[in-house]
Amino acid sequence: MRFDSKVVWITGASSGIGKELAIQLSNLGATLILTSSNAVLLEILRSELQSTKIHVLTYDLFDLDGIPTLVEQALAFEGSIDYVIQSAGISQRAMAEDTDITVYKKLMDINYFAPLAITQAILPHFKMKNSGNITVISSIAGLIGFPLRTGYAASKHAVKGYFETLQCELYKTKTTISIVYPGRINTNISKNALIGNGQQFGLTDANNKVGMEVDVCARKIIRGIYKGKKTIIIVKAERILFWLWWFIPSLYYKIAHAKGLEN
């Protein structure tokens, strides 16, 4: 499994799953375009990946209006892009009744509207060359609800709706869409999650502490993309919850309520 001569653009590349994907794809020979709002962390990552051709494209994805220009800038580096991996996102740790409407908007902007805008802007390029892959990192919360994540789950369910429909529309083309549904992954996602007033949660919760190691998660994602999978589900114990949700929903709601409110 190699990505030599392939250009891969990763958003959310300065931390978490995005950063680990950059590291592993670098080792697989890819030319990388790395995007995040944190220029310092991107430059540190570039210095750690000296064996690969790397472009840094700093951008705040909350600025939705500028995304068409961002895509033009990304394409200008190499003249073409083969893979777009959209890993940027923010989680949530707050009860619905305690969450301000502005927090819901931020979650939708970064988790749903930003990947949608990037996809809309880059599709003409993929159509012109009749190839390309768009991968979006969703969440198991994009398939089932879980306490303290109303806005996060809503944004990830929206991702599923848009990108699954796009898979249908592009069925007869050579542009592929991969949707990744990770469960608990050992990253800083809970530390960076938003509470009801928009501040960061700032703690690593119990779910993340027992999560899958991020390098294992990234390997599974890359393998799934390489094989052209439309759906990539990456879970451990969460598989049981998903099974319960599907077959014994009454038990799922009972367990999800109890486990989710422990945090």
CA dihedral 220, 224, 227, 230 (to 10 degrees): 170
3-class state of residue 194 by DSSP: strand
Least Cα distance to 86 among 9, 152, 166 occurs for 9
What 8-state DSSP symbol labels residue 112?
A: I
- The token pair at 100 is 């301000």
| Contact yes or no for 223/172 (Cβ under 8 A) | no
152 in catalytic set: yes
Name residue 240's amino acid: I
Alpha-carbon distance of 82 to 111, in angstroms, equals: 22
Q: From the candidates 112, 152, 181, 252, give the one annotated as an active-site residue.
A: 152
Write phi, then psi, for 134 (nearest 5 degrees). Answer: -115, 120
Rounded to the nearest 10 degrees, the angle between the axes of helix 114-129 and helix 67-78 is 40
Q: Which are the catalytic amino acids?
A: 152
